[in-house]
Structure 1
Amino acid sequence: MTSTPEYVGDALGVLLLDGFPARYNIAPTQPILVVISGDRQQPGSNLPDRRAFLVRWGFTPSWVKDPKEFPLLINARAETAIGKASFRAAMRHRRILIPASGFYEWHRPSKESGEKSQAYWIRPRRGGVIAFAGLMETWSSADGSEVDTGAILTTAANAAMRPIHDRMPVVIQPEDFARWLDCKTQEPREVADLMAPVQEDFFEAIPVSDQVNKVANMGPDLQTPVAIEPVKKPSKKSDPDDGQLSFF
């Protein structure tokens, strides 16, 4: 998230009272900004009925007794979130938008290919802020303390993203913000069509260094493009001519 609070607020139709610094490497368990439908519109404001706050990136269902014994759910598969026990209640009551400037993804080829793993900085081709579809849940401990948690919904990658990874975040378009956030009149099945891969030309993928893999690295140089080394294929040894034909 590298945009200013003013820009993010305008893009998502929400008033952000507090500023925040640019963040170039947000990791699971860290705070992320989310937007939800509010209780009522603020007097004298022409903004939609929405509010923003921070949640922990890593979803914890309310019925979990000990989060330390529960896997960290940073993503939720859009294809199964409606019916899965972990996300069913959140899909019905707590759908959110998660603003971002882009995301990182790794292409991890098979060992047989001879390729190295490569990190990509994936951002909207036209710039600006995007809104991932997300879910949130407030987990309460036995002592009464509460933690707001969230996860990003993912879907099958479109053709442009598939060479890098087979999954991608669900992107909600501005014209669909209100419908996605409306958990009072829009049941999960009625917003299922929004959880589809974004159009092919929406993102551009920029190869970057493997420094993004370290949480301690947080500077803007993480998004500096790098050249991709060509794949070095093993040299083929010529077989002796045994007088027989070969198909290859």
Structure 2
Amino acid sequence: MCGRLAVTLPNDAMAQLFAAQPANDLPEVPNYNVCPTTQVHTIRIEGGTRHLSSMRWGFIPRWYEKPNGGPLLINARAETIAEKPAFKTAARERRCLIPASGFYEWTKDSEGGRDPWFIHAHDKAPLAFAGIWQDWQHGEETLRTCAIMTCGANTSMSTIHHRMPVILAQQDWALWLGEQGKGAALLMQAAPEAHLQFYRVDRAVNSNRASGAHLIDAVDA
């Protein structure tokens, strides 16, 4: 799965990288501890143009009567997305990219303590996760929400967790966003072994209130 992110690329650089028009309400960066239900950066197509904008991380199905009216849907499984009522329409019609500098996963030690790991591109380039989005509305309240696609982990990542986010290569961004016709389903697979690196970080990041660049500093495993 994917339940915590780090985003360090400046907003103007992010807009340039993704060739997207930036909104005025983008989340502040750097943020080394982006948590579910907070706002995340997303790239989506509107009117034939890429837009960099902010969405709530936590997809809300239309039948929820309130944002916490059911399970928190921060991830969507690639293997079943076409069948799930909550996700299947968004998977066809409302796909997005969710950029990050890296993400965290956890293992447990012999006493049950949670040890965090930071995962990033081997060349430290920004990652682009495959995502889906939709607007949720109830009465006068409207929220634009998203979830990150996940797939089975590749061999190296499976030593930490059996799932991982679907990470898209730059040449595949247009296909996922629907700019290059059909075939996006073929992209929902694990990144190549050599694409990612990971290392242990301090347990300080276990708190969703923690902040600061030290959260991604390596510690002895």
Compute the displacement of 1:213 (Å): 1.0
Q: Which residue pairs with 1:66 in the alignment?
A: 66
Question: How far apart are the structure 1 equivalents of 2:21 and 2:220?
Answer: 40
Q: Which residue pairs with 2:188 in the alignment?
A: 195
The normalised TM-score by structure 2 is 0.90
Q: Moved runs in structure 1, 4+ residues, more than 6 A?
A: none
Compute the displacement of 1:9 (Å): 1.7
Compute the displacement of 1:69 (Å): 2.5
Letter in structure 2 aligned against 1:191: A
Write out aligned runs for 1:50-129 (5 A).
50-108=50-108, 116-129=113-126
Question: How far apart are the structure 2 equivalents of 1:129 and 1:201?
Answer: 15
Compute the displacement of 1:52 (Å): 1.4
> Structure 1 vs Structure 2: percent identity of aligned residues?
34
Question: How far apart are the structure 1 equivalents of 2:65 and 2:12?
Answer: 39
Q: Which residue pairs with 1:43 in the alignment?
A: none
The normalised TM-score by structure 1 is 0.81
Compute the displacement of 1:224 (Å): 1.1
Question: How far apart are the structure 2 equivalents of 1:162 and 1:7?
Answer: 32
Q: Which residue pairs with 1:221 in the alignment?
A: 214
Letter in structure 1 aligned against 2:164: M
Q: Which residue pairs with 1:7 in the alignment?
A: 13
SS at match of 2:29: coil
Question: How far apart are the structure 2 equivalents of 1:183 and 1:86?
Answer: 24
Greater strand proportion: 2
SS at match of 1:10: helix
Q: Which residue pairs with 1:162 in the alignment?
A: 158
Q: Which residue pairs with 2:36 in the alignment?
A: 28
Structure exhibiting the larger radius of gyration computed from Cα positions: 1
SS at match of 1:24: strand
Question: How far apart are the structure 2 equivalents of 1:115 and 1:73?
Answer: 25
Compute the displacement of 1:138 (Å): 0.6
Distance change in 2, residues 1:59/1:178 (3 Å): same
Question: How far apart are the structure 2 equivalents of 1:221 and 1:69?
Answer: 35
SS at match of 1:69: coil
CA contact (8 A) 1:171 1:197 kept: yes
